[in-house]
Amino acid sequence: MHENYLLIISLIISASVCDTVNQLCLKTSINTINMDVSNFKKALILIWKIARMPLAWVALIFSSLSLFLWLYVLTKSQLSFAYALDSIHFVFIAFASSLILKEKVGLKRWVGTLLIILGIVLVSLTG
């Protein structure tokens, strides 16, 4: 087992948590806009509207944190190991969207989430 095993795992989890916060902030911002993006011009307008929301800047901060944590992970870990484990963010987002955004998470989604956790456990055994 790798000497930095626990460090790498905690850094990947931190990067995923930062990414989850990023996604939650972005989704909350976009939800308040409620606009159809059907062409490039409308996409630019949407980006402009998002850029004027404070929460979007919080998202950007967490997105940057996630990026540099990820780069630091990659200095210590194999890409094939870290990339697979990074899928833990699907699990965090499933829980967060259920608890915080109050989205309905059906049985199929929870089964999928369990499969992702199982896969992560298998991959983490190979670190």
Enumerate binding residues for another protein (CB under 8 A): 36-38, 43, 68, 70-75, 78-81, 83-84, 87, 90, 94, 103-104, 106, 108-109, 111-126
Cβ-based nearer residue to another protein, 17 or 120: 120
Structure-token match 């944190």, residue found: 65
In which element (H, E) is residue 14 found? helix 5-33
55/116 with CB nearer another protein: 116
DSSP class per residue in 32-68: HH-----SHHHHHHHHHHHHTSHHHHHHHHHHHHHHH
Residue 41 CB, shortest distance to another protein, in Å, is 13
Smallest separation (angstroms) from another protein to the CB of 38: 7
